[in-house]
Chain A
Amino acid sequence: MRRTLRNTRWRGFATAAALMCATLPSVTRGVAQGVPQGAKLQLNNLEKLSDKASEVNDVTLEGALLELASKFMEADHDPDTAQVKEVLKGLKGIYVKNFEFDEPDQYSQADVDAIRAQLAAPGWTRIVESHSRRSREHDEIYVMKQGDNIAGLAILVAEARELTVVNIVGNIDVNKLSLLGGHFGIPDEDKDHHKRKHKNDDAYPARDKDKDKDKDKDKDKDKDKDKDKDKDQAAAEKEDTDDDN
């Protein structure tokens, strides 16, 4: 009798344990499988670049400060600011690291690869990659998905003389994300595109520059020819009118 009771207890315990294991949240299992717990990147390895860089911008906005920023925007009645506030609502942190160098190749590939290694972890997906050999620029955008939501975003911009990493953690509405450009140290794409265009003139091969110059010269020549034609026509018309008189 005792033995059957003990057996029944053990069976009940085993069933409960099996049920618990089966219903354990996926997050807990994720720890064992090495799935990253958050979308926050470790960017400490870039600190050493501060010594070489001519311009450094490092922004860390999280917790109370993010709330404060949101509260300030609440007070602003500008519609754009209101939309930025909406984006901020779901965010947990904004981290920006930007280094500008006077000389090219001041950071190593290993520095960038250390960040890429984190972005290669399960959960992260690369959605945009743009590579330009001419301007020696490599841009990447990664998102971390959790179900249907985006739990994190990372932007990696590696240029010959500049390195920028933007990491946004929290619920993100991708449609409204562009509104954050120009706020909290996040580059404004429109302004930045213009700035980069000018900056990349240095990296632009001299051969192409000469080609462009030649094109410009040709255009100028064509313009001169057109002008001469106009002048000739005007002179001929003048002569005609003089003859008529």
Chain B
Amino acid sequence: MTTTKRTRTAVIVTATLLFAVLPSQARADDFGKIVHSIESNYHVHRNYRFVMGFAGFMVKCAGGFAGVRGFKGALFENQRLSFAPDSTLDEVVQSAGDHGWQPVVKSYSRRHNEHTYIYARQEGKDLKVLVVNVEPSEAVVIQVKINPDKLAKFIEENEGGRHEARLDSMTLR
């Protein structure tokens, strides 16, 4: 391995680590704000932070996969999220609407203490989708940037493949 290659690898690894370890506040976008709000209100911490960060980095490096051009995710698993005031999270998520996010789905159940929000924002040909789901024992915040045409094409191709495979298996029988 040459020195240039080593340096390049070191830079990529450092960038990945930085991206994963950087506090959400530093990346002051709506995704970061919502994640920080969950962490501070419910006194919980993200799981698989490095894996999620790495996944996002890989999607960015690959220049998109299946129409997905950007990915940010935060998982909170097996944690107690039921004792925090809901209003703060509502306010934070709904303030996302002020930043051009269009609310698509707002669903919550006081009976089961579940909240689901889906927001979307168009950015040229791409569509950014923000999904927030909070349940008593887990929470998920995902932000993806997708190209609808490419995603539909990817699904069509794979569905087509699956359809053909199904037909093949039927003819084999």
Interfacial residues, chain A to chain B (CB-CB below 8 A): 53-61, 63-65, 67-68, 71-72, 74-77, 102, 185
Contact = CB atoms under 8 A, between A and B. Distances in A.
Interface in B139-172: 148-149, 151-152, 155-156, 159-160, 163
Contacts of A77: 159-160, 163
Contact of B159 (A55, A68, A76): A76
B106 to A, nearest CB: 4
A76 B157 CA distance: 10
A58 B106 contact: yes
A72 B152 contact: yes
A56 B156 CA distance: 33
Given A57-B107, A58-B105, A65-B102, 5 more contacts: A54-B109, A56-B106, A59-B104, A72-B152, A102-B111
B109 to A, nearest CB: 5
Contacts of A54: 109-111
Nearest to A71: B152
Interface in B102-157: 102-111, 120, 122, 127, 148-149, 151-152, 155-156
A75 B163 CA distance: 11
Interface of B: 102-111, 120, 122, 127, 148-149, 151-152, 155-156, 159-160, 163
Contact of B149 (A53, A56, A71, A185): A71
A75 B156 contact: yes
Given A74-B156, A76-B159, A77-B163, A56 B148 contact: no
A58 B159 CA distance: 30
B120 A58 contact: no
A55 B148 contact: no
B104 A60 contact: yes
Contacts of A75: 152, 155-156, 159
A68 B104 CA distance: 13
Contacts of A53: 110
Residue among B110, B127, B149, B151 facing the most chain A CB atoms (10 A cut-off): B110
Given A61-B104, A72-B155, A185-B105, A67 B122 contact: no
Nearest to B102: A60
B159 A64 contact: no
A44 to B, nearest CB: 12
B105 A59 contact: yes
Contacts of A65: 102, 104, 120, 127
Contact of A56 (B102, B104, B107, B160): B107
B105 A55 contact: no
B103 A63 contact: no
A76 B160 CA distance: 9
Nearest to B108: A56
Nearest to B146: A68
B108 A64 contact: no
Nearest to B155: A75
A58 B107 CA distance: 6
Nearest to B127: A64
A77 B149 CA distance: 17
21 contacts: A55-B111, A58-B107, A59-B104, A60-B102, A60-B104, A61-B104, A64-B120, A64-B122, A64-B148, A65-B102, A67-B148, A68-B127, A68-B152, A71-B148, A75-B152, A75-B156, A75-B159, A76-B159, A77-B159, A77-B163, A185-B105
Contacts of A68: 127, 148, 152
A76 B156 CA distance: 7
Contacts of B155: 72, 75
A44 B151 CA distance: 33
A175 to B, nearest CB: 27
A56 to B, nearest CB: 5
